Amino acid sequence: MNANDTKKTISKCKELNTDFILVLHGGFTMGDVALTFAESNFKLGFWSVPEPTLTGDVQLNNFVSLNMSMSIAKKVRNTSKNPVSWYYGFAENKEFKQKITLTLQTLQSLKILSRSRIGLIGGLAMTFYNMEVSTTKLKSKLGVDIFNHDIHELTNRMSNQSSKNVDEEIQKILRLAKT
């Protein structure tokens, strides 16, 4: 694979709405491949498997390739904003399975969070400075929308609801709670 092949792969991944690209270093992966992936906006991981033998000549040199790919990614990508993960081990390795499972669960959670809307009722208590969260950062990092509501606003809204509407909402909640 070279940079042109990588660009085609990235285009295909965009078409498929891919959430994460995991590049397997099954041998030495060229720097232009790592660079092209690292310059993309995809959530990205590099994976290397151990050498087939521990003595004699290095056969795959894929761990060096993994290290180089991570180094390239850190030079061209803001990894604090768009991190790149690295993985090492055979697919059946316990530690590898744990790390890739955690990654996939995290990606799934981020996808769910990106469509979330949270109602914040009552605001922050005075002097609870360390509890303050930037709604702008939550929106930019996770895609979460925060809606602030004063408790007086909500109690006024509640008192203006008819008993019929309240009963209907309670029934909806109970039905959803059973599923």
Q: What is the pLDDT of residues 49-103, one digit of tens each?
A: 998 888 888 788 899 999 999 999 999 999 988 999 999 999 999 999 999 999 9
> How many domains are contained in the chain?
2
pTM over 0.85: no
Q: DSSP 3-state assignment of 25?
A: strand
In terms of domains, do 123 and 107 share one?
no
Q: Is 23:46 a contact under the CB 8 Å cutoff?
A: yes
Residues 32 and 51 in one domain: yes
Range of the domain at 163: 117-178
Same domain, 16 and 93: yes
With a cut of 80, say whether residue 179 has pLDDT above it. no
Do 41 and 101 fall within a single domain?
A: yes
**Quick one: 95 and 162 in the same domain?**
no
Q: Please check whether residues 61 and 140 belong to one and the same domain.
A: no
